[in-house]
Amino acid sequence: MTQDSRVRDRGVRARLAPLVLIVALFFLWGVANNLNDVLIPHLKKAFFLTDLQSGLVQSAFYLGYFFLALPAGLLMRRYGYKAAVIVGLVLFGAGALLFWPAAELRRYELFLGALFVIASGLAFLETSANPLITVLGDPARAEQRLNLAQAFNPLGAITAVVVGRQFILSGVEPTKAEFAAMTPDQLSAFQAAEAQSTQIPYLIIAAVVLTWALLVAFTRFPVQASRPDPEAAEHKADKPILGLFSRPRFLFGVAAQFFYVGAQVGVWSYMIRYGQDQAPGMGEKTAAAYLSWSLVGFMAGRFAGTALMSRIDPSRLMALFAAANVGLTLVAVAVGGHTGLLALAATSFFMSIMFPTIFASSLKGLGPLTKTGSSFLVMSIIGGAVLTAAMGALSDASSIRTAILVPCACFAVVGLFAVTARRREVTAHDAVLAGGH
């Protein structure tokens, strides 16, 4: 082997290690996000919650994104992407460790607190990893590149549901009459067993995540991943924020992301609940299997969507996918039963490209405002908190089928953003051609 080839090999390995570490983050936060879809029916049963109360799992979780995304952006501007990743992983691991005392004390509010800490860490991870992917390469292929990286996210989601179904959901589902016949000691033992089934899975997650933080800390990253924003020291924090308010495309992107995440989280959070309601006699583990296959469809959709983007404009493709999901959710509302459940599960395929496409499309042309813009896009994930709770309240007041109207409306908003984003891109392209550039 020549000296030049050895140097090239070392260069490839030096670039590959950071890439593997960062892409793995998409898998890890997929695990954290989608374990919530198992926790909602599990904690509902363990603590005798209403749909609205169980929906607070997602509210607590996504409030962490909302409150920590902007601080994550400020830290990233001052210290670089790598520092934000390390802080995020430490918070993620700390929140997972808090599941142990929450289960021992059997306090629902402590579970919510642990989820808030986990999501605070994920706010740092998503704020840093998503824009890092978009700036590494040709801007014209930013959506395609981010969709490819995000393809590892549904793999984490599928892993989460399989693990949750196997190790958290007990399959023990007493009827109201059986609960009424239990002695206080029997009821206490049931609740203790249900709460403690969360401890080992989250302890393992904590160990993996904290180990990953050490690997990131001791790995050399490219300069653009570690250096601070050169303008961070000389500009006030409010300048980039004010600059974003003059960007209507970006602001619509933030709104579209709010509604998209609300739709995604709402559909996945209540799919088990919908299946049990619409297919009498369906157990929680069987309903969770539908969710698992739905997430397989989500992963397939992301790979298929990434491939299609080489031939179809990303915004146009997202508009078509949004229209498909409006139709599928209307079937879930109007028809119900197994047909409605299958339609609801099928929405995952078409949801697959929405988050990264909205994210990358919204950041186009922001230049030095990109890092702060990323923070606002991650803050918009609070849609998962607000709209999932709204679905729970509507379900309690009416029915779980009626509650699916919430994600239906959300997909309509995403479709409108896709159409208007496409029009702006065409207009900008025509203006460039007219100017002779």
Cβ burial of 417 (10 Å; 0-12, 13-18, 19+) is buried
Return the pLDDT at 239.
58
272 is written with which tokens?
A: 């088990």
Question: What angle in degrees, to the nearest 10, is found between the helix axes of 383-397 and 405-434?
Answer: 150
Domains in the chain, start-ordered, CATH in brackets? 10-228 (1.20.1250.20), 240-427 (1.20.1250.20)
pLDDT beneath 50, residues of the chain:
7-8, 11-12, 233-235, 237, 426-437
Structure tokens at 310: 């080489």
The pLDDT value recorded for residue 3 is 52
- First-to-last CA distance in the chain? 46
The number of angstroms, rounded, from the C-alpha of 138 to the middle of its chain's C-alpha atoms is: 25
Tens digit of each residue's pLDDT (9 = 90 or more) over 247-291: 888 999 999 999 999 999 999 999 999 999 998 888 888 988 899
Q: Which helix (H) or strand (E) holds 169?
A: none
C-alpha–C-alpha distance, residues 366 and 108, integer Å: 42
User: CA-CA distance, 366 to 373, in Å (whole number)?
Assistant: 8
∠ CA 413-128-293 to the nearest 5 degrees?
A: 55
Give the pLDDT score at 429.
42
Q: What is the pLDDT of residues 356-387, one digit of tens each?
A: 899 888 888 777 777 778 888 888 989 988 99
Integer angstrom CA distances of residue 111 from 43, 105, 114, 372, 396: 9, 10, 5, 31, 22
Biggest distance spanned by C-alpha atoms of the chain? 82
Is residue 173 a contact partner of residue 282, using CB atoms and an 8 Å limit? no
Residue with tokens 């919510």: 112
